[in-house]
Amino acid sequence: MGKRVTILDVAAAAGVSRQTVTRAINDMGDISEPTKRKVLAAAERLGYRPSRFARSLVTRQKTHAVGLVVASLRNPYFTDIAADMLSEAAARKWQLMIAASERDSPELLQLLSTQVDVIVGHFGLPDAEIRDAAQGLPIVLLEGRSDLPGVHSVEVDIESGIGDAVSALRARGARRFGMVDSAYSERIRGAYEPTPKRQWFEAAVGDGLAGVVVGEESISGGGRAFAELMRLHPDIDAVLMFNDLMALGAVQSAHAIGIAVPGDVRIIGVDGLALGDAVDPPLTTISLDQQSLASNTLDIVEIIAKADFARIAPIHRTVRSKVLWRESA
Where are the domains positioned within the chain?
Answer: 7-50, 64-157+290-321, 158-288
Q: What is the mean pLDDT of residues 76-101?
A: 91
CATH assignment, 7-50: 1.10.260.40
Lowest mean pLDDT among 7-16, 61-70, 83-92, 142-151: 61-70
pTM of the model: 0.76
158-288: CATH topology: Rossmann fold (3.40.50)
The two domains 64-157+290-321 and 158-288 share their CATH topology (first three levels equal) = yes
* pLDDT for the residue 53: 46
The confidence band for 49, taking pLDDT boundaries of 50, 70 and 90, is low
CATH class of the structural domain 64-157+290-321: alpha beta
pLDDT for position 1: 38
Which pairing describes strands 177-182 and 209-215: parallel, antiparallel, or unpaired? parallel
Contact 142, 129 (CB under 8 A): no
3-state secondary structure 136-163: CCCEEEECCCCCCCCEEEEEEEHHHHHH
Q: Which of 172, 127, 163, 150 is nearest to 51 (CA)?
A: 150
| Arithmetic mean of pLDDT over the chain | 88
Please name the amino acid found at residue 14: A
